[in-house]
Amino acid sequence: MVEVKQIEQAYELAKQRYAELGVDTEKVMEQLKKVKVSMHCWQGDDVKGFQFPDQELSGGIAVSGNYPGAARTPEELRQDLDKAFSLIPGKHKLNLHAIYTDTDEIVEADEIEPRHYQKWVDWAKQNGLGLDFNPTLFSHPKAAKGTLSALDDETREFWIEHTRRSRKISEYFGKETGIVSVNNIWLPDGSKDNPIDRLSPRKRLMESLDKAREEAIDPQYSIDAVEGKVFGMGLEAYTVGTHEFYLSYALTRNILWTIDSGHFHPTEDPADKFAAVAPFGQGLYLHVTRPVRWDSDHVVIMDDTLQRIAETIVNNELLDTTHIGLDFFDASINRVAAWVIGTRNTLKAVLHALLAPVAELKNIEKEGNFTKRLALTEELKSLPFAAVWDYYCLQNNVHVGTEWIKEIEAYEADVLSQRQ
């Protein structure tokens, strides 16, 4: 175990090193405290939810692995979340899907109301957390032939009502917690093989979204976001809600465009899209994940992609208009540990980006001194960033270094292993 004195000494040395570059580490840590990562609930139970517990996962989504200890009830899921949040510095948000109702009622997707999530709200307020929301337009019999773009009027109206009610639930979350709630809309509509008519489903989707969003909601409580994708399993040839469709929709409706880093080709740089959209849009909602092979949703690690995401947000002053969420689900490892690893890494990446002398680098760039720009950005990689991170964890009363792993192992032995 690292002694507090050692952490403080290492931090003081790091503070001096960064000060030489004009970076105030105290100010940086205050900035980091304002960053709220929206941790996704579905990592804890493999995207099953509690509204339709016997419904098979569908919509081109798959979870691999069968590690013991998955949450089976809302109470168990909140218990696991409490453990995860206790090991992550700062106060953040939880991202809920509509299927995570906590009620004794049998409630259909087009009947959900704020009261079906009251226990989640009470828990969030007790813990000082925000809540994001997502309509669940998959894993339902009525989603088999499409949802908001479905040819069948009755099916389409069913999902319009579900989306409409999801917006009201998100608004309720924002009002109750005092933290804006992002209502993220994603749907798996598409075709396994090549369709003839590619336009009509997109027109129907546009009309359905407009209809579901007719009621104006105060953006201090809730903001809509739309999320595109390239393809899903069983939907390889055609996706109705592509990136281009939703980018156009978000810009023309002045809502958030969601960029999921797993929804692009593995060699594509999703971070480059941030600044391309920023001059035109309301802002961005991120689903940070790790696509080893397309949308494989591996746990976020401190790789080049994650650091580019953080650097792009910080360097272009997009922190205030970018909502950071996570989206991975790995059932091959301890699910609580997956949350902690992914969330801590996301925060580390933001901290690393904040510790750069961005103003100086921009001036160097304006002068055309690309040699110095390259030299300085490379030197930054070896500065004692970890000492600042350790001190930040210490200041936020969470474990420093690898100490949190022991707590996860104890939790697995005492709690997770008891679940059958």
pLDDT in tens, 122-167: 999 999 999 999 999 999 999 999 999 999 999 999 999 999 999 9
Other beta carbons within 10 angstroms of residue 320's beta carbon come to: 8
User: Is the residue at 369 inside a domain?
Assistant: no
In a domain, 14, yes or no: no
Residue 110 among the catalytic residues:
no
DSSP 310: H
Task: Tell me the average pLDDT across 258-283.
Answer: 91
Assigned domain for 198 exists: yes
Q: What is the mean pLDDT of the chain?
A: 95
Percentage of the chain exceeding pLDDT 70: 100
3 state DSSP class of 312: helix
| Domain carrying residue 264 | 22-357
Domain total of the chain: 1
Residue 232 has pLDDT above 90, yes or no: no
Residue 287 annotated in active site? yes
Residue 238, judged by CB atoms within 10 A of its CB (0-12, 13-18, 19+), counts as middle
pLDDT tens-digit series, residues 191-222: 999 999 999 999 999 999 999 999 999 999 99
In this structure, is residue 385 part of a structural domain? no
Beta bridge partners of 97: 134
Residue 415 lies in a domain: no
Long-range contacts of 414-418 (CB under 8 A, 24+ apart): 415/69, 415/79, 415/83, 416/68, 416/69, 416/80, 416/334, 416/336, 417/68, 417/69
**Is 295 assigned a catalytic role?**
yes
**What CA–CA distance (Å, rounded) separates 94 from 346?**
15
Kindly state the average pLDDT of the residues 262-266.
86
pLDDT at 185 over 80: yes
Q: Confirm whether 363 is domain-assigned.
A: no
Concerning whether 97 is annotated as a catalytic residue, the answer is no
Residue 60: pLDDT over 80: no
Which is the catalytic residue, given 132, 171, 227, 311? Answer: 227
- pLDDT of 319 strictly over 90: yes
Q: Of 132, 327, 330, 390, which one is the catalytic site residue?
A: 327
State the pLDDT confidence band at 331, using cuts at 50, 70 and 90: very high
In the set 92, 116, 140, 229, the catalytic residue is: 229
The yes-or-no answer on residue 197 being catalytic is: no
Is residue 160 within 8 Å of residue 148, measured between CB atoms? yes
Write down the pLDDT at residue 250: 97
In the set 97, 116, 162, 263, the catalytic residue is 263
Q: How confident is the model at residue 54 (pLDDT cuts 50, 70, 90)?
A: confident
327 a catalytic residue: yes
**223 within domain boundaries:** yes
Q: Kindly state whether residue 367 falls inside one of the protein's structural domains.
A: no
Of 123, 186, 339, 404, which is the active-site residue? Answer: 186
Which range, of 44-58, 236-250, 298-312, averages the lowest pLDDT? 44-58
CATH of the domain at 219: 3.20.20.150
Q: Which of 83, 116, 287, 298 is catalytic?
A: 287
